[in-house]
Amino acid sequence: MRLPFISMFMTSPFEGIQEHAEKVKECTWAFQQALECHITDKCLTFEKFRQEVDQLESEADAIKRRIRGHLPKWSMLPVDKFQLFRYLREQDSVLDSVEDALDWISYRNDPGIPEELEKDFFLLVDTIITPIEELSKMVSEARKYFRNYSDKQRNVVKNIIATIRQQEHDADTVEDAVKSKVFNLIQDPVTVFHMVRLAETIGSIADHAENAGDMMRAMIAR
């Protein structure tokens, strides 16, 4: 369908990116519930949450394809198209890491996460949820900036990016503590490998949030 001429100037890819960010946030919430289900041994619903994550990831993929495939060459974008795509790739990588973590958990249901590490993994997941929630807020504030280009609004976005960076650092600290505890408490080498890799995969969720923040920082740079 041919788009009206005026839509070339009105269409904003950030609407789709906002929609994608909301899916990413929902996905991490489902991941949090899946991990809680796994740890508390209510695994009848673990698969349910895993399927929910798969469904949300599929919906996010559809949004991503829509953004990439329906961006006319003549659109008057507020940012470089390739910067936009790099941002979207980092935001989407959050979903890949969430799926990787769930897959990794499912490979070894028994004995699962040892009891002495349960609280540590709960804390690690909590620390990666907060920067993902900030991502959605950052995109929302960036949309406002690209409408008015005010210094005040630009600073709002920059402050959120700084917050995400700090939260990623906090997540790294918790991840390191979990790995240290694994090596000092667990004797079985297979369990050590499983738990260390799980901690790193969960930690990478926050890494992608920070990378997305860096991409946004480049887009609002003058």
Per-residue pLDDT, 74: 54
Please tell me the distance from the alpha carbon of residue 167 to that of residue 115, in angstroms, as a whole number.
26
**Residue 113 DSSP label:** S
Check if the beta carbon of residue 206 is closer than 8 Å to that of residue 131. Answer: yes
Per-residue pLDDT, 191: 95
Considering all CA atoms of the chain, what is the largest pairwise distance in Å, rounded to the nearest integer?
Answer: 67
Helices (H), 107-188: 118-148, 151-185
Tokens at 68, concatenated: 């990439």
Please tell me the distance from the alpha carbon of residue 154 to that of residue 150, in angstroms, as a whole number.
6
Question: 205, 66, 202, 216: which is closest to 133 by C-alpha?
Answer: 205
Give the sign of the dihedral formed by CA 71, CA 75, CA 79, CA 81.
Answer: positive
Question: 197, 204, 170: which is closest to 182 by C-alpha?
Answer: 197
3-state secondary structure 69-82: HCCCCCCCCCCCHH
Per-residue pLDDT, 25: 95
Give, for all 222 residues of the chain, the pLDDT tens digit.
444 444 444 467 888 999 999 999 999 999 999 998 888 866 678 888 889 999 999 999 999 998 887 766 655 667 788 889 999 999 999 999 999 999 999 898 777 899 999 999 999 999 999 999 999 999 999 999 988 899 999 999 999 999 999 999 999 999 999 999 999 999 999 999 999 999 999 999 999 999 999 999 999 987
The secondary element (H helix, E strand) that includes residue 112 is none
Check if the beta carbon of residue 98 is closer than 8 Å to that of residue 56. Answer: no
